[in-house]
Amino acid sequence: MKTEIQLRGANCPVCFESVREMLLEDSRVTAVHSSFSSHCMEVEHGVMSAEELIGLLHRNLHGVEIAGNGEQVMVDVEPSIGEWHCHR
């Protein structure tokens, strides 16, 4: 199964790549194609459901914002499934 996921707010390249690598290490995932600039991933997976994949991304991927006091803080990213035509 291939699932395309939009990752709005995923603006930390290090976090994005770490999650991509984490997915590739998961035995239920066969391939990951991603575009940081487009904030999307195409994940090919077997026994992992799309809901499990979204949950995993929600728990492990964060964005970065500047708080009112000027401090950098991590914020949640809300992954969404759709046909995003992720450009690599």
Q: DSSP string covering 4-61, please?
A: EEE-TT---HHHHHHHHHHHHHSTTEEEEEEETTTTEEEEEESSS-HHHHHHHHHHH-
Name the least confident of 30-39, 56-65, 75-84.
Answer: 75-84
Domain annotation for the chain: domains and CATH numbers: 2-81 (3.30.70.100)
- pLDDT mean over 35-64: 92
**Is the distance from CB of 29 to CB of 49 less than 8 angstroms?**
no
pTM: 0.84
- pLDDT mean over 58-83: 91
pLDDT at residue 88, rounded to an integer: 56
pLDDT at residue 87, rounded to an integer: 61
pLDDT at residue 84, rounded to an integer: 64
pLDDT at residue 29, rounded to an integer: 96
pLDDT at residue 83, rounded to an integer: 75
pLDDT at residue 79, rounded to an integer: 93
Report how far residue 68's alpha carbon sits from residue 5's, in angstroms, rounded to the nearest whole number.
30
